[in-house]
Amino acid sequence: MKQTRFYSAMRQILFLSLITLGYIQAQSTYSYTVYKTMDNITVDGNLSEWTNTPSSESFTVHNTSQVGINTSHVKLMWDDNNLYVAFLVLDTDIKSCTNVQDDPLWERGDMSEFILDFDDNGTHYLEIGIDTRGINYDYNLLCTSVACGGWNDELTWDITGMETASVITGTENNGAGDTGYNIELKIPFAGLATLAQGNLTTPTDGTTWKGNFMTLNYNTSTTGTTPTEYLSWSTYPVFGFHQPAYFGSIEFSATSTAVDAMLENINSILEAKGMNQFLVRSTGNTQVMVYDVLGNTYMNASFASSTDIALDYLPKGLYIIQAMNGKTKNTLKFLKP
């Protein structure tokens, strides 16, 4: 059952921060590309399906950009029906406090949360928080602007079909032997579509939302007095998570795998597989050249799909293999014994 949400001291400070900010033009330079997955994702918190999914930048103290005592990062994927979110949190002192759904978790213990603003309106958006045990809350923030008097949020709304799970590495609430926790979520787009005034655009290739990802790190150690850390992906100029001008961009790509994404963006079109064996990863026209250190060319070929190349036929010597796909150029040196 939803509880009545009261204005904690933290939330009042967040609202005052919005007034101080004055709703200036968006200045966040943070962006994250969400790649499409063809896998069946099991929401269990172990993140075994996320190995090849790109990570966000590590979170920092949200209003100073300084490195925190602990940190975290987030990963996202999507398919035709769901958004998937995974938090990987490094935390040497895990505090867990509740098993009650929709509790004000931000007042109780360690947790991660995120904001999604589907239409970049800045006044109507979604906030989801998940603690170390996988307990969550979901709030429809109808308006957080000065014009409507601060907080106007829908407390009774729930995301139908949302799944959450967590895995803790350590022992919660004793301040010893902890290393962190993972959080995993599956969020149906059909559930998000019921968000009043949310104006959801179900993602297709090129869709962009705005939002941010955050972690609250409480300290439970009896030997220290470390204050609570408020960490975030996209940072702010003053205290408070609810500053829409500084939400980052969440950009959806129909690229189906992290490997395909790397073909376009990173440096993975060429891979050494073994003695004189190479894999050329290609989703289009990839030009491959093999030449020796004197400039003599032994291969100049084009491949339209991923191809294994064997170079056993080359005479002994030092060679260079180069692959270019128009956006990326990779070069490897190898010795033919």
Give first-to-last CA distance, the chain, whole Å. Answer: 70
Question: Could you tell me how far CA 279 lies from the centroid of its own chain?
Answer: 29
52 occurs within a structural domain: yes
What is the average per-residue pLDDT within 53-81? 86
Contacts of 303 (CB under 8 A, 6+ apart): 280, 282, 285, 286, 288
Domain of 35 in residue numbering reads as 9-256
How many whole angstroms separate alpha carbon 288 and alpha carbon 280?
A: 8
CATH of the domain at 322: 2.60.40.3080
Would you say how long the chain is, in residues?
Answer: 337
Domain boundary among 223, 256, 289: 256
State whether 93 and 236 are in the same domain.
yes
77: nearest Cα among 215, 183, 185, 167: 185
Beta strands in the chain (DSSP E): 31-36, 60-61, 71-78, 82-90, 111-117, 125-131, 136-143, 152-154, 163-169, 180-188, 208-217, 229-232, 248-253, 270-274, 277-280, 286-292, 297-303, 307-310, 317-324, 329-336
Greatest alpha-carbon pair distance for the chain in Å reads 78
In a domain, 1, yes or no: no
Structure tokens at 228: 């609570």
In a domain, 262, yes or no: no
Average pLDDT over residues 147-176: 72
Contacts by 307-316, CB closer than 8 A, 24 or more apart = 307/279, 307/280, 307/282, 308/273, 308/277, 308/278, 308/279, 308/280, 309/277, 309/278, 309/279, 309/280, 310/276, 310/277, 311/276, 311/277, 311/278, 311/336, 312/276, 314/276, 314/290
- Shared domain check, 180 and 84: yes
CB 69 within 8 A of CB 158: no
The count of other CB atoms within 10 Å of the CB of residue 290 is: 20
pLDDT at 259 over 90: no
In the predicted model, is pLDDT for residue 5 greater than 50? no
| Residues 91 and 204 occupy one common structural domain | yes
DSSP state at residue 276: T
* Same domain for 206 and 61: yes
Instruction: Report pLDDT for 211.
Output: 93
Shared domain for 63 and 211, answered yes or no, is: yes
CA dist., res. 306 & res. 206, Å (int): 25
Instruction: Let me know: does 264 contact 282? Beta carbons within 8 Å.
Output: no
CATH number at residue 48: 2.60.40.1190
Domain boundary among 222, 256, 290: 256
pLDDT at 175: 63
User: Pairing between strand 180-188 and 208-217?
Assistant: unpaired
Q: Are 98 and 104 in contact (CB under 8 A)?
A: no
Residues 251 and 271 in one domain: no
Same domain, 205 and 225: yes
pLDDT of residue 23: 42
Quote the number of domains for the chain: 2
Coil, strand, or helix at residue 49?
Answer: helix
What residues form DSSP beta bridges with 297?
291
Average pLDDT over residues 295-302: 85
Convert 209-227 to b/e letters by CB count within 10 Å (16 or more is b). bbbbbbbbbbbbeeeeeee
Predicted pLDDT of residue 80: 94
Residues 59 and 16 in one domain: yes
Q: 99-138, pLDDT tens digit by residue?
A: 656 565 565 678 789 889 988 887 778 888 888 777 677 6
Q: Looking at the structure, do residues 66 and 146 belong to the same domain, yes or no?
A: yes
Instruction: Answer yes or no: is 4 within a domain.
Output: no
> Which range, of 125-139, 181-195, 221-235, 249-263, averages the lowest pLDDT?
249-263
Which among 105, 107, 175, 91 has a CA at the least distance from the CA of 133?
105
pLDDT in tens, 205-215: 999 999 999 88
Q: Are residues 142 and 250 in the same domain?
A: yes
